[in-house]
Amino acid sequence: MEFIEWYPKGYGVGFKVVSKITEVESEYQKIELYETEGFGKLLVIDGTVQLVEHGERSYHEPLVHPVMLAHPNPKKVLVIGGGDGGTLREVLEHKTVEKAVMVEIDEKVVEISMKYLKIDGGLLERALKGEEPRAELIIGDGVEYMKSHKDHFDVIIVDSTDPVGPAKLLFSEEFYRNAYEALGEKGLYITQAGSVYLFTDELLDAYKNMKKVFDRVYYFSFPVIGYASPWSFLVGVKGDVDFTKIDLDRAKDLNLQYYDPERHETLFQMPKYVRELL
Ligand code: AG3
């Protein structure tokens, strides 16, 4: 048996699977979990690969650590989405963090992740019970949360599904404006922005919308296991923060496998024709 995610133009990313662990139709989307032959568990939402257990760090590390290490002192962090808990787990690796709020719209993703996936090491359950002093987990709509919270976050991380369906609003100019308002005087915003080669138009749209709102916008790409790589990430800056420079001392406390802080400059690599379109 196999699971294949089909991208545009008939490009597929597939895994050999040994069994289907569960399938749930939630209020928002269809969630599937498989056991693969070589990569541990595979989480799929609406037919798209969210992560494989043995490889998820190749996504969560570049999503979380570059912005956290570029911010001089990230204390308050907001995560939108990320129901599997991988992003929150990485955020809490940073000792500077006093409070991390995660807002996930779909409680079923959290339930399945707690019950079967367990890449969070029990963090989601502790956060839901209010037993994790630095983390708060809210089941709710990130778009609404962003409108109503001007809490002056240092870092905002959007770990969403693709810019179609429920996540589409997370790539709009209006959402970026609310995010800009929710950041403090110095702030960094990061979002995953899709496959460089196969979602180039979505990447360009998101980049243009972010440029209208943030003081500066950076793009970078990273090879993610399980996605049609390279995968793109967009960083919006508010105020005086330089995303090209990171704190290497703080990086030493992290246990990293993929993102290489000592080679931070290599993140910014983008195929020439895409860079010229941006
Ligand atoms: N967030 C989903 C990234 C988008 C994947 N898209 C795709 N395969 N077409 C990942 C959730 C992990 N915390």
Angstrom CA distances, 98 to 6, 51, 92, 189, 249, stand at 40, 27, 9, 18, 19
How many Cβ atoms are within 10 Å of 82's Cβ, its own excluded?
Answer: 29
* CA atoms of 206 and 191, how far apart (whole Å): 9
Residue 150 in tokens = 């001007």
* CA atoms of 117 and 29, how far apart (whole Å): 18
**The CATH number of the domain where 26 resides is what?**
2.30.140.10
* Whether residue 162 sits in one domain with residue 238: yes
* CA atoms of 161 and 81, how far apart (whole Å): 8
* Whether residue 146 sits in one domain with residue 43: no
* Whether residue 142 sits in one domain with residue 106: yes
Q: Is 175 in the pocket of ligand 1 (CB under 6 A)?
A: no
* Whether residue 128 sits in one domain with residue 16: no
Q: Is 70 in the pocket of ligand 1 (CB under 6 A)?
A: no
d(CA 15, ligand 1 centre) in Å: 15
Strands 76-81 and 99-104: parallel
Q: Is 48 in the pocket of ligand 1 (CB under 6 A)?
A: yes
Tell me the per-residue pLDDT of 27-45, one tens digit each, with 9 for 90 and over: 999 999 999 999 999 999 9
Report pLDDT for 168: 85
* Whether residue 107 sits in one domain with residue 29: no
Angstrom CA distances, 218 to 87, 105, 166, 237, stand at 20, 27, 25, 8
Overall domain count for the chain: 2
d(CA 225, ligand 1 centre) in Å: 11
In the Cβ-directed half-sphere of 173, how many Cα atoms lie within 13 Å?
7
* Whether residue 70 sits in one domain with residue 9: no
Report the atom number in ligand 1 closest to the C-alpha of 87: 13
Most ligand 1 atoms within 8 A of CB, residue of 31, 227, 233, 234 to mutate: 227
Residue with CA closest to ligand 1 atom 13: 82
Question: Which residues carry out catalysis?
Answer: 159
Report pLDDT for 150: 87
d(CA 19, ligand 1 centre) in Å: 21
Q: Is 159 in the pocket of ligand 1 (CB under 6 A)?
A: yes
Q: Is 80 in the pocket of ligand 1 (CB under 6 A)?
A: no
d(CA 240, ligand 1 centre) in Å: 30
ipTM over 0.90: yes
* Whether residue 236 sits in one domain with residue 181: yes
Residue with CA closest to ligand 1 atom 5: 50
* CA atoms of 103 and 80, how far apart (whole Å): 5
* CA atoms of 250 and 148, how far apart (whole Å): 32
Coil, strand, or helix at residue 102? strand
- Averaged confidence pLDDT in the chain: 96
* CA atoms of 269 and 278, how far apart (whole Å): 13
Instruction: Report whether 56 contacts 42 (CB < 8 A).
Output: no
Report pLDDT for 206: 96
**The CATH number of the domain where 108 resides is what?**
3.40.50.150
Query: To which H or E segment does residue 213 belong?
Result: helix 200-213
Tell me the per-residue pLDDT of 46-103, one tens digit each, with 9 for 90 and over: 999 999 999 999 999 999 999 999 999 999 999 999 999 999 999 999 999 999 999 9
3-state helix, strand, coil in the chain (%, to 5): 35, 30, 35
Report the atom number in ligand 1 closest to the C-alpha of 159: 1
Q: Is 83 in the pocket of ligand 1 (CB under 6 A)?
A: no
**259-266 contacts at long range (C-beta below 8 A, 24 or more positions apart):** 259/61, 259/62, 259/65, 259/66, 259/222, 261/65, 261/69, 264/66, 264/69
* Whether residue 44 sits in one domain with residue 126: no
* CA atoms of 185 and 174, how far apart (whole Å): 19
Domain that holds residue 143: 57-277
* Whether residue 103 sits in one domain with residue 39: no
* Whether residue 160 sits in one domain with residue 25: no
* Whether residue 105 sits in one domain with residue 79: yes
Confidence category of residue 165, pLDDT binned at 50, 70, 90: low
